[in-house]
């Protein structure tokens, strides 16, 4: 297992996976990481749907040009937010984004590949996800994460940009 800083600095989006399935203990570890994310007022509005079914993954893929990898990933996690637990929309997005990043980092720490697929609010794809996953009215899909054993590798590269570091004021 990688240490924390190495995990953060070397994580890359992986969009190509082998067909090797993930075991339940690994999936539970990924969800544990997501549920360990910080949230506004500790409301913890996130919910997670694990999607292993190939037909469902293919249906989700076919409705978005940004989701081409969903049929190849053996696991897709839908990160959803409860609008009742967190009625402030911006906090709901931030809380679920923190949970999404935790899952991405956990996947990388476990030598898995993963990619974050954003679900933009009030789009046809979001409505399709709501219907396909049979979400209750108070649950909003925020992101999908494709996860699996990586078929591709991506080189580490320096991502620190001095010109984005401002001291005290802009």
pLDDT per residue over 31-56, tens digit each?
A: 999 999 999 999 999 999 999 999 99
Helix H or strand E encompassing 3: none
Is 92 in contact with 141 (CB distance < 8 Å)? no
Cα distance between residue 46 and residue 20, in whole Å: 27
* Residue 155 exposure: Cα atoms within 13 Å on the Cβ side: 2
What confidence tens digit (pLDDT) does each residue in 98-145 have?
A: 999 999 999 999 999 999 999 987 789 999 999 999 999 999 999 999
DSSP label of 25: H
List, in sequence order, every beta strand (DSSP E) within the chain: 46-51, 75-82, 113-118, 139-148
Predicted TM-score of the model (pTM): 0.93
Q: What's the mean pLDDT in 67-77?
A: 95
First-residue to last-residue Cα distance in the chain: 38
Q: What is the CA radius of gyration of the chain?
A: 16
Cα distance between residue 9 and residue 7, in whole Å: 6
All domains of the chain in start order, with CATH: 14-147 (3.40.109.10)
Give 151's pLDDT tier (boundaries 50, 70, 90).
very high
């Amino acid at each position: 297992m990688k240490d924390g800083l190495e995990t953060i600095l070397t994580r890359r989006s992986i969009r190509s996976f082998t067909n090797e399935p993930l075991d339940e203990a690994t999936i539970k570890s990924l969800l544990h990481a997501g549920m360990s994310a910080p949230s506004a007022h500790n409301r913890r509005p996130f919910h997670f749907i694990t999607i292993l079914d190939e037909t469902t993954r293919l249906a989700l893929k076919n409705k978005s040009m940004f989701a081409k990898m969903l049929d190849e990933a053996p696991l897709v996690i839908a990160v959803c937010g409860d609008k009742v637990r967190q009625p402030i929309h911006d906090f709901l997005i931030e809380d679920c984004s923190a949970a999404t990043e935790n899952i991405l980092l956990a996947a990388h720490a476990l030598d898995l590949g993963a990619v974050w697929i954003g679900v933009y609010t009030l789009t046809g794809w979001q409505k399709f996800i709501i219907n396909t996953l049979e979400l209750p009215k108070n649950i909003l899909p925020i992101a999908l994460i494709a996860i699996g054993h990586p078929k591709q590798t991506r080189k580490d590269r320096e991502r620190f940009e001095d010109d984005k570091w401002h001291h005290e004021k802009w």
